[in-house]
Amino acid sequence: MSFRRARLGNWIIMAVLLITGAGGAVGGMLRDRLGHHELRLTDLHPAEGIAALDVTDGDAVEKACQGVDAVVHLGGYADEAPFDDLLEVNVRGTERVLAAAQRAGVPRVVLASSNHAAGRHPRCDDLADDAMPWPDSYYGWSKTAIESLGRLCHDRYGLHVICLRIGACKPEPVESRDLSVWLSPDDLARLVEASLTATGFHLVWGVSANTRRWWSAAGGAAIGYHPRDDAERWAATVRESDERTQQTVGGRA
C-alpha cells in the first residue's frame, strides 16, 4: 500500500489525514502546522472546521476513513479518569479506529500514546523507546493497551502503526520537569510528518532535542524524526517542579 499523494524524496508533500480529537490542545497545534496536507478534522465536540466524530462509533469512523492516507488518532481522555471511561473511549475507541482504518484500506495509523505508558520506570539516561510497558495510572494502562492493539493490527493486517509516547506537549516549558520531557509544537509536527512515511510498527518517544532529556533519540531517528527545539532556553524562567516528578518517567508519586 502506498500514498496516493505526491512525494518529494521521503517526504509526503500532501496527504489526506483524518485527525480525531482535533479540537484538543495537540490537535490545535497540529492543525496550525500541517495545513499543507488535506486535513479532515474531527472531534466528539464539533466546532468551526471540525466535524463531529465519536471514535467509539466504528461505522462513523469507517465512513470518515474513506480515501484517507493516514489517521492521526488523538481523541480520548488525556489524563487520569475512571477505569470504565478509559476502557470505553481510549481502548475501545482505539480498537474501533484501527479496525475502521483496516476495513477502509487506510495504510497507516499514528496513535497518541503517552510517557505514562512507561511511567513507572525509574528515571535513567537514554531509556529505550520500546521500554517495557509499566503504567503509572489507569490512563497510562489505557495507553499500554492501545500500543499492544496497534501491534496486533500491524501483525494481523500489515497496518503501519506508529505509537508516539508523548512527553509534555505545550507551547513552552513552564516547570523544571518540562526541561526534560517537553515536546515543542514544531517538533510535534516534525514527529507526525516523519510518522507519515514510517513503515512497520514503532514506539517512539515524543520529545524535543532537550539538553536534559532522559529518553532515547534512536526510535525517532529510525523513522526520520530529527527534533530541533531545546527546552534549555527556558531553564532560567521555569518554576521548580516537585522533586518527585523528576524520579520516574511519568513523574507520578
Ligand X SMILES: NC(=O)c1ccc[n+]([C@@H]2O[C@H](COP(=O)([O-])OP(=O)(O)OC[C@H]3O[C@@H](n4cnc5c(N)ncnc54)[C@H](O)[C@@H]3O)[C@@H](O)[C@H]2O)c1
Residues classed as catalytic = 139
State the sign of the Cα–Cα–Cα–Cα dihedral 165, 208, 27, 174.
positive
| Among 74, 81, 118, 127, contact with ligand X (rule: CB under 6 A) | 74
Distance, in Å, from the CA atom of 158 to the CA atom of 213, rounded to the nearest integer, reads 33
Distance, in Å, from the CA atom of 191 to the CA atom of 143, rounded to the nearest integer, reads 18
Distance, in Å, from the CA atom of 133 to the CA atom of 131, rounded to the nearest integer, reads 6
Nearest CB to ligand X, comparing residues 11 and 83:
83
Rg (alpha carbons) of the chain, rounded to whole number: 17
- The reply on whether position 137 binds ligand X by CB under 6 A is no
Q: Which residue is nearest to ligand X (CB)?
A: 24
DSSP count for the chain of H helices, then E strands:
8, 11
Q: Specify the residue for cell string 512525494.
A: 7
- According to DSSP, the residues that pair with 203 across neighbouring strands are 163
Nearest CB to ligand X, comparing residues 3 and 77:
77
- The reply on whether position 227 binds ligand X by CB under 6 A is no
- The reply on whether position 204 binds ligand X by CB under 6 A is no
- The reply on whether position 220 binds ligand X by CB under 6 A is no
Binding map of ligand X across residues 1-40, x = CB under 6 A, - = no contact: -------------------xx-xxxxx-------------
Judge whether 41 and 74 are in contact, CB under 8 Å.
no
Q: Specify the residue for cell string 490542545.
A: 25
- The reply on whether position 110 binds ligand X by CB under 6 A is no
The total number of residues shown for the chain amounts to 253
| Among 17, 39, 44, 191, contact with ligand X (rule: CB under 6 A) | 44
Nearest CB to ligand X, comparing residues 14 and 51:
51
Stretch that binds ligand X, among 30-38, 71-79, 149-157, 189-197 (CB under 6 A): 71-79
Nearest CB to ligand X, comparing residues 38 and 80:
80
Cα distances (Å, whole numbers) of residue 199 to 54, 57, 109, 158, 162: 27, 27, 10, 9, 8
Coil, strand, or helix at residue 200? coil
- The reply on whether position 168 binds ligand X by CB under 6 A is yes
φ, ψ dihedrals at 105, nearest 5°? 75, 20
- The reply on whether position 55 binds ligand X by CB under 6 A is yes
| Among 166, 191, 204, 249, contact with ligand X (rule: CB under 6 A) | 166
Nearest CB to ligand X, comparing residues 54 and 186:
54
Residues of this chain that interact with ligand X (CB under 6 A) are 20-21, 23-27, 43-45, 53-56, 74-76, 78, 89, 93, 112, 114, 166, 168-169
